[in-house]
A and B are shown apart, each in its own frame.
Chain A
Amino acid sequence: MNASGWLQLALYVGALALVTQPLGRYLCQVLDARGRTGLDPVLKPLERLTYRIMGVTPEREHDWKQYAAALLLFSLVSCVFTYALLRLQHLLPLNPQGLGPVSGHLAFNTAVSFTTNTNWQSYGGEGTMSQLSQMVALTLHHFTSAAVGIGVAAALVRGIARSSARTLGNFWCDLVRTTYYLLLPLCLVFAVFLVSQGMIQNFRPYTRARLVEPVRTLVEARNDRGEIVPDADGTPMMEERVVEEQVIIQGPMASQVAIKMLGTNGGGYANANAAHPFENPTPLSNFLQMLSIFAIGSGLTGYLGRMTGNPAHGWSVWAAMMVLFVAGVLLCWWGEARGNPMHQGLGIVADDGNLEGKEVRFGLFNSALFATITTAASCGAVNAMHDSFTALGGLVPLFNMELGEVLIGGVGAGLYGMLVFVILAVFIAGLMVGRTPEYLGKKIQAFEVRMAMLALLVLTLSILGFTAWAAVSPWGLAGLNNAGPHGLSEILYAYSSATANNGSAFGGLNANTPWYNVTLGLAMLLGRYLMILPILALAGSLVAKRSSPPGAGTFPVAGGTFVLLLLGTVLLLGALNFLPVLALGPVVEHFLNAQGQRF
């Protein structure tokens, strides 16, 4: 854990703090149907035209049920749209590699995955998706799923801020304004910057390069049908081959990567995601990609503070998120820097730490930081392979997701997830002092607490339920790349990632099978919509209540006591739910590793 790492951590947190208020201020304008921004001259006509085509009256606001119905309808339609494009990609243009149609279960998994802002990828991008599929079928959801999440967060904040009202805003208006005024301009600038660093943006077929030194190699012999030929013992026959070419991918990558980060989507263009040198060419591109994952989520805490007229509350929520986040970074970094004692025993330089699955240009610290950010938010992009992290280094991303990704979190999803914990924290504080709990002037009653608990229980049930099922099923075990406790971690990681709508993976797990694709798809749907529905119901209940001014006995929702109580609530619920399974996975693996046990 060197000085340069500490300095980079300070730079990162400092930069994030700097962008929080400007973005929060801008979000107030974007998320107001009558808001004004400097981009109005360009975008207002486009916005009006879009409403006219869609037949939307932006002034007509939705109550919570109408908001939820519009949201579900839009998600369904856009999901079907993507499913259809993937199934038909071989008939559609922009497919220079001549890739075939995507299989049914994979198309279902992928369409659901992108619609729910998960971006779990059971496939490798380069060899499965045509340029049209990448650019339209998938990128559409990069924008809209992010905008939907931000819309839900805005609806909940309006529910808290408005007094004795009925409506939470217009879903279509939130969707369109967030996409046009927030995401598009940021992405345009960011994408061009990424190209300047070396990211590709073109519509060419893959380039064939003649290798500087042809590589002589042994590969598994294949017959005419492309099947591996076994010898008498059943092991694959090997044949020598001289490889003279390298096929270099091309395509519209920068435009997709910009929104994949800003929208906390995480679905990569290439299989290796942000570890791929095109997808993350330099340490500077890496730093700004990490910043862009957190930027909007962090700005939303500023939005919360402004909208509720209590900026200190926004900062307090931000501070609680940051404390847990930095603790995660430090644990992950420590684990990776300490490295693997078993491997060091083989004669590897101990100070180098664990470099399996990491890039030289990022090194230990930036890999650990990226892994913690991408799972604290619901991003899921990776610049190193989490599967090869040390046991404790890999525990951090896993635990981040199981907390519900509330440390900054996915755009929108992080804020509404954290507000669920805020409501529970306030409720617990109320119980302790024996008063009806209040949150920013709104009474928290049985209905609110029920909805908050429902949202949390869905997360727990889906993760633990599906993991338990897969861990005792032949189809679940067939996909494993690692044995022993690490195998359980692979399964647990997959369902945590799917349910929390993260999308990163312990990538060794071969999840591109009908069972995995379908169960992971279901976990994503549960984790997204059974979370959003109770939250909108909560917002609908809060918005109808009258705001009363704070009295002498009101529990303050800003300052150190509140931050501590909130931290305690998050940790207590997260830890109680998941410690047993974590003990069977990464924790036991850590001790076995120290003893030199291998699988």
Chain B
Amino acid sequence: MKAFLSELRGAVLGTLVLALVTCGLYPLAVWAIAQAAFPDQANGSLIVDTDGTVRGSRLIGQGFTGAGYFHPRPSAAGAYGYDAANSGGSNLGPTSQKLHDALRDRVAAYRIENGLNEADRVPADAVTASGSGLDPHISPRNAALQASRVARHRGMSVEQVTALIQQHTTQPGFGVLGEPGVHVLELNLALDGKGRRMNDER
């Protein structure tokens, strides 16, 4: 019994002491270092307007539907997509009828939007939902296919838009890690800053 009580004391006090160290001191230490060394990243890499309004995070995608904007990937986050407080994927499997139908409709819509033929293949990232539903990137091929639409609706030349795409393309880390991606939110903000925004047909 005495041995049991002594071990019980170890368990109870051990829980409390370890909680204090690993859940109190440790996160506070990380917080202090992070806020001092990387305050921008530690607070969400926020994009702030000149008037102080937060317009989003550089890491988190937003939905765009206007013809003068680049469109991100479909999103399964939240009820209407790109809900940053409800991250997640569709979780639909390879034989799902629902996924099949959604892909069929998105392929058709993508072809119409971007003036492609029935025979033209559509990049997979343009019609599939990401795992987080907040993917900020699209593939370079997807961006290139959207360039002429965006240029037309903004009264810009395709070369101007293509140059902007390149500016906002992230290359693989150290040339090898991961895949290249075009940052949709930053690209669209750059477009808004550069060209006038034409009517969005909405």
A residues lining the B interface (CB < 8 Å): 4, 7-8, 11, 46, 50, 53-56, 66, 69-70, 73-74, 76-78, 81, 124, 126-127, 135-136, 139-140, 142-144, 172, 175-176, 179-180, 183-184, 187-188, 191-192, 195-204, 206-213, 215-220, 241, 243, 246-250, 252, 254-256, 258-259, 270-272, 275-278, 281-284, 286-287, 339-340, 342-343, 346-350, 352-363, 366-367, 382-385, 387-391, 394, 481-486, 489, 506-508, 589, 592-593, 597-599
Contacts and interface: CB of A to CB of B under 8 A. Distances in A.
A126 B134 CA distance: 14
Interface string B172-201: 111011110100010011001000000000
B127 interface: yes
Contacts of A126: 85-87
B42 A202 contact: yes
Given A213-B65, A593-B94, A139 B27 contact: yes
Given A126-B85, A211-B56, A598-B96, A352 B125 contact: yes
B103 interface: yes
Contact of A277 (B10, B55, B83, B132): B132
- Residue of A208, A270, A589 with most partner-chain B CB within 10 A: A270
Top 10 A-B pairs, shortest CB-CB distance: A283-B178, A508-B91, A352-B124, A275-B131, A363-B179, A272-B87, A385-B89, A486-B93, A272-B132, A255-B27
A179 B17 CA distance: 12
B91 A481 contact: yes
A210 B47 CA distance: 10
Given A143-B18, A212-B56, A271-B87, A599 B11 contact: no
- Residue of A7, A127, A199, A258 with most partner-chain B CB within 10 A: A199
Given A74-B11, A246-B62, A220 B79 contact: yes
Given A276-B132, A277-B60, A356-B92, A73 B7 contact: yes
A206 B60 CA distance: 14
Given A77-B15, A172-B14, A383-B131, 7 more contacts: A54-B10, A202-B31, A255-B27, A272-B133, A361-B179, A387-B91, A486-B93
A124 B86 contact: yes
A590 to B, nearest CB: 8
B13 interface: yes
- Residue of A176, A210, A218, A255 with most partner-chain B CB within 10 A: A255
A408 B107 CA distance: 42
A179 B62 CA distance: 40
B20 to A, nearest CB: 9
Contacts of B33: 192, 195
12 contacts: A8-B176, A54-B17, A69-B4, A76-B11, A136-B24, A201-B34, A246-B84, A270-B132, A278-B57, A282-B178, A349-B124, A388-B92
Contacts of A210: 53-55
Interface in B1-58: 3-4, 6-15, 17-19, 21-24, 26-27, 29-31, 33-35, 37-38, 41-47, 53-58
